[in-house]
Amino acid sequence: MWGSLLRRGVRCAGGIRCLSSGGPPWSQVVSEAEKIVGYPTSFMSLRCLLSDELSNIAMQVRKLVGTKHPLLDTARGFVYDSRNNLQMRGLVVLLISKAAGPSTAELSFQHDMVSGIYSSQRSLAEITELIHTAFLVHRGIVNIGELKSCDGPLKDMQFGNKMAVLSGDFLLANACTSLAQLQNTKVVELISSAIGDLVQGIYYENAKSSEENCLTDDIGISRWKEQVFLSHSALLAKSCQAAMELAKHSAEIQDMAFQYGKHMSMSHKLHSDLQPFVKESSNDTMAFSLNSAPAILHQEFRGREAWLKQIREAQGKGNIVDYKKLQEAIKAGKGVTSAIDLCRCHGNRALAALEQFPPSEARDALANIVYAVTRFP
């Protein structure tokens, strides 16, 4: 079966088979996967989100209405996640737990399974989502020194920063408490190291941007992948591995789960980075990061100095960047097509990891997630 799936694509550099475009859209993939694991993952963190402490935080966040504090956008995303991206990590942990099934090495607690998933694995999925949400909230802290008058009163923006720190810390504390309750030293070690990776990855993301007049980092795609693994892939990869450890699966199965989580989330990040360059429906130019994968690859092909020259030419009065001009420059080069190839190559490696799991609806759903994040117009 998987051999035929892999044969749909074409060969990339290094003999790796890439995925062709096609497959169901993302929202349909998520909806079908949620039916397989037993309940909508949008309710995964409900116990925490309905707690008295977080309800009080939500009331305080209402004071930010009328400002442009990013914590408001984060809060809106929790309520209305039209693209079904926020709960993706927990869903993948549940799916891979069901795809692996019970371990033959440990039969004593199979009575604890619901819909083919252990209760400890469901708890782990919730923990993964809480950690991810906590870091999303922490990313909503603004640089007070860069504020403009149209962003909102200084007092409100400072208050928003305090709420972002406190509410993110609250979610992270809840996640750590639940993690300890799993009473599995290796799982605690894995998830703790993932939190450390997240912190390190976010530090790398912000270290250069804080420098004056620094719009883009002088890094290659290899360095970019290292940084993205830390900030986007490590949590999912290590959570997938931890889910296998909770079911006492072999080291080989644990490694395959890690590889799937790593490469699928790399594809997901690349897919996200490519959206401003491949969307056909929108007439408006989307602002994009000059450290996104297409821009980094464009810089590699053009050279650092040529890329900086293009950026300077796209800057108007007040150093405002004309993103449409830069977007067209990147599209005219090889950055976009190379990023699509890289996205599909990571997707192909995620599919290869799934070959170690027995055929099932859950495994098919995991494959469909890969097809969805490697699908382009």
CA distance 266 to 115: 28
Dihedral of alpha carbons 289, 293, 299, 304, sign:
positive
Question: How large is the greatest C-alpha to C-alpha distance in the chain, in angstroms?
Answer: 69
For residue 114, the surrounding DSSP H or E stretch is strand 113-114
Rounded to the nearest 5 degrees, what angle is found at the Cα of 221, between the Cα atoms of 355 and 143? 110
Find, among 79, 95, 76, 83, the residue nearest to 43 by Cα.
79
Q: Is 273:294 a contact under the CB 8 Å cutoff?
A: yes
Contacts for 5-11: CB closer than 8 Å, 24+ residues apart: 5/351, 5/367, 6/348, 6/351, 6/352, 9/344, 9/348
Q: Give percent above pLDDT 90 in the chain.
A: 39
pLDDT at 28 over 70: yes
- Secondary structure class of 361 (helix, strand, coil): helix
- Secondary structure class of 11 (helix, strand, coil): strand
What is the reported pLDDT for 121?
93
Residue recorded with tokens 């790399």 = 266
pLDDT at 298 over 70: yes
CA distance 161 to 200: 21
Mean pLDDT of the chain: 78
- Going by pLDDT thresholds of 50, 70 and 90, the confidence category of residue 339 is very high
Give the mean pLDDT of 5-16: 39
pLDDT at 165 over 90: no
Q: Which segment of 62-71, 106-115, 273-282 scores lowest on mean pLDDT? A: 62-71
CA-CA-CA-CA dihedral for 333, 216, 150, 168, to nearest 10: 110
For residue 199, the surrounding DSSP H or E stretch is helix 185-209
- Going by pLDDT thresholds of 50, 70 and 90, the confidence category of residue 164 is confident
Dihedral of alpha carbons 213, 216, 217, 218, sign:
negative
Give the mean pLDDT of 118-143: 85
Tell me: the pLDDT tens digits for 185-242? 999 999 999 999 999 988 887 765 544 445 667 788 999 999 999 999 999 999 999 9
pLDDT at 6 over 70: no
What is the reported pLDDT for 113?
78
What is the reported pLDDT for 150?
61
Tell me: the pLDDT tens digits for 47-103? 444 455 455 555 555 555 556 555 556 655 554 444 445 568 888 999 999 999 887
Amino acid at 148: K
Locate 208 and state its tokens: 């250069």
DSSP label of 40: -
Residues 6+ apart with CB under 8 A from 91: 30, 33, 34, 37, 41, 125
Contacts for 219-225: CB closer than 8 Å, 24+ residues apart: 219/291, 219/296, 220/296, 220/300, 221/293, 221/296, 221/297, 221/300, 221/342, 224/291, 224/293, 224/296, 225/266
CA distance 116 to 101: 6
Find, among 145, 140, 135, 146, the residue nearest to 161 by Cα.
140
Locate 323 and state its tokens: 């993103």
